[in-house]
Structure 1
Amino acid sequence: MKVAWFGHKTRKRGNGLVMYSKQLTEGLEARDAQVVFFYHGSSDEKTEQTYRQTRLRSLRLLDHDLVSSPRAKRLVQRTLTEELVDVAHVSLSFSLLDLSLPALCHRLGIPIVATVHAPYDRRPSLWGIGSRLLYRLWSIALAKDDAVVIFSREQREILGRYGVPIQHMHVIPNGVDTETFRPAPSTYKGEVGAELLVVYCGRLDPEKNVGILVQTFLDLDLPPSHKVVIIGNGVEYQRLRNRFSSESVIFTGLLEDKRELVRILRSGDIFVLPSQVEGLSIAMLEGWLAAWPR
């Protein structure tokens, strides 16, 4: 089987969408599927993937590749035709191409599946209003997809009210590799001189509330042997590093070495996810499985 995967790749920062694309495409290849990977990014990006990759140019807005170039649709159609793709998958949100991919794939006789990652924010805030509007916009395209993967029954009910056929939606919660993320001895706490270690892993963006986590930790006035480690990168990375220059606060940046990530997670005594709204956080699942005895 040959799968066209419309997904995400790491640039200077990582996130759950990047991890999802990486894990799922690796899983497809391990099961002898061929992957044709479409992504937005720069031409000089490093890559370790072995499959065919097609880079789409785009206009970045709010640190996201939201607007694909006018030539992107033609490039997608040509590649799908040449590669004789059997099925397409789009990891939402990809870009404004989300709205046109169902019709494009159907013209070529290719079934298309979409996975919806973003949480539905009910808060009476600008962020919440934007989230609800985005769900309504996505529903236009999702109603035309052959199948839609979501992570909760509540999400299915919401999208159903917006017009997505219930019979097309499949609840498949996010998962992680339990062989990689499992408890084992780790020397990290000793290396950083921590008696107690609090861990955060994820994007360092405003909606994640990492600054509140670190400030709260420092306000507790704990002994120097109590530390918090912040794993990840994002638009607030440098600001937070400058603000919290304390020996009790460790910023690792984006960890591309999975072994180092697992080593730190295994050492954690407390994993904190301070964001007010989440879908089903992969980082939370990894942190839980890496340190929780089973």
Structure 2
Amino acid sequence: MDEQRRHRILMVSDFFYPNFGGVENHIYYLSQCLLKLGHKAVVMTHAYGNRSGVRYMTGGLKVYYLPWRPFLMQNTLPTFYLTLPIIRTILVRERISVVHGHQAFSTLCHEALLHARTMGYKVVFTDHSLYGFADVGSIHMNKVLQFTLADVDQAICVSHTSKENTVLRSGIPPNKVFVIPNAVDTAMFTPAPNRLSCDEIVIVVISRLVYRKGADLLVEVIPEVCRLYSNVRFIVGGDGPKRVRLEEMREKYSLQDRVDMLGAVPHANVRSVLVSGHIFLNSSLTEAFCIAILEAASCGLLTVSTRVGGVPEVLPDDMIVLAKPVPDDMVLAIKKAIYMLPGIDPQAMHQRMKSLYSWPDVAKRTKVVYDRALQCSNQDLMQRLPRYLRCGAWAGKLFCLVMIINYLLWHLLQFFQPSESIEEVPDTPLAQHQHEDMLHNFNEVQDQI
């Protein structure tokens, strides 16, 4: 692998470990696989508690925890320009070639892409969620996304439904958007050694207990299923503002012995909870992909899920039962899943998941997107401003003003602290070793040819 084909990627998002979720897992596993492929991957996020500064994770993955505190829902306060000096320093120090932002709701992601484009770096954006078009929050977020993606080189969505949603919300040309699904670490999520008896059927729910994840649906579905089937028990893992409603439901219907409330489940313990059940229940009201379904299927559980967003694209029909996001239809879907249980082979399901989803495959496909981004032509500010003007009669002019001010501030920083005065950090010994191995293997292939 020559230097031109070796990418140096800065992953940026407000959402990363020690916080847990689909975006956090995606960034971590994608970065680890890119490192194994011989590329350089660095993560930038905000501080979490006392975790601030530079940290190293497994595989030599470097993480910059910027000294910014979360403002709302793990997002930093929007500052537009205050993050420019530190982001510029990181980009120069790490000799970054591609900036990869994750999640439309991440303030840090939007600001990093803004500064990176000002400085002439190639930028890629991955959208992990679906948003509406009518409520005030979605209208605001869609306008911000339109601004960010007006000058992005390439974009990635985790499902075809997510791609359609992102294109409609942001106005980005569809030919710039790739669909690369999430994956699952099948080595971590394995079925139980022995198949569970179906004398008592255990339905597992692991989710944030919030409105968007359909916690209110569970309040109505669980009592009805328990009434119909005396041998069904529920395990509910997760925490959130809707947990109180579930506990009230359990008290009201006297289901303390049939509904176990585990609270927040660390990601390392998710597999042990999953393998104790037969059916995984997902009641989300909106979902771009849902990694939790992959983890459950990899553990050999039959999935019952609401038919929303990109969920129908995730699993084959014989591994999932879909329902409308209404209580009656979900109860019917659970009935169907219970009927299907005797024909489910957890080990065979696990092997199918290994062939369907893998993080190394996601990394290879993402590398192609980086290649495409680097092939995009370099343009100066005057050539890029018309893209922002098309974002709206008033918003377009405001976006142009933001970019012009950012451009002037960047040149001011260049004057007081030239890029040449910023010390570049050497690659870690592990990264150098991986690059040498890749180069050696590449040379061997060339010799054979």
TM-score, reference length from structure 1: 0.81
CA distance in 1, matches of 2:69, 2:285: 30
Shift of 1:72: 2.5
**1:197: which partner in 2?**
202
CA distance in 2, matches of 1:115, 1:250: 36
Q: 1:227 aligns with which of 215, 219, 233?
A: 233
2:210 alignment partner AA? D
Q: Residues 34 and 240 of structure 1: is their aligned pair in 2 closer, same or farther, counting only changes over 3 Å?
A: farther
**1:156: which partner in 2?**
163
**1:251: which partner in 2?**
261
Larger proportion of strand: 1
What is the Cα-based RMSD across aligned positions, in Å? Answer: 3.1
Q: 1:281 aligns with which of 269, 290, 294?
A: 290
Structure 2 residue 219 is the aligned partner of structure 1 residue 208 = no
Q: 2:144 aligns with which of 137, 148, 156?
A: 137
CA distance in 2, matches of 1:94, 1:9: 13
CA distance in 2, matches of 1:178, 1:221: 32
Q: 1:270 aligns with which of 241, 255, 279?
A: 279
Q: Identity percentage over the alignment?
A: 22
Shift of 1:241: 4.8
Flag structure 2 segments of 5+ consecutive residues without an equivalent.
1-6, 301-345, 350-449
- Asked if the contact 1:149/1:169 (under 8 Å) is kept, the reply is yes
Shift of 1:257: 4.9
CA distance in 1, matches of 2:175, 2:62: 33
Instruction: Provide Cα deviations, 1:187-231, integer angstroms capped at 9, x if missing partner.
Output: 9x79xxx82111112222222122431442134445775321122
SS at match of 1:275: coil
CA distance in 2, matches of 1:202, 1:87: 33
**2:45: which partner in 1?**
39
What is the 5 A alignment of 1:1-294? Answer: 1-7=7-13, 8-11=15-18, 14-45=20-51, 49=57, 50-56=60-66, 57-61=68-72, 63-68=73-78, 71-93=82-104, 95-121=106-132, 126=135, 130-131=137-138, 133-161=140-168, 162-185=170-193, 195-222=200-227, 226-237=232-243, 240-241=246-247, 244=250, 246-258=256-268, 260-291=269-300, 292=346, 293-294=348-349
Aligned residues: 284
Larger proportion of helix: 2
1:256 alignment partner AA? P
Shift of 1:34: 2.6
- Asked if the contact 1:67/1:96 (under 8 Å) is kept, the reply is yes
2:193 alignment partner AA? P
Of structures 1 and 2, the larger Rg is shown by 2
- Asked if the contact 1:99/1:140 (under 8 Å) is kept, the reply is no
Shift of 1:100: 3.7
SS at match of 1:272: strand
- Asked if the contact 1:185/1:266 (under 8 Å) is kept, the reply is no
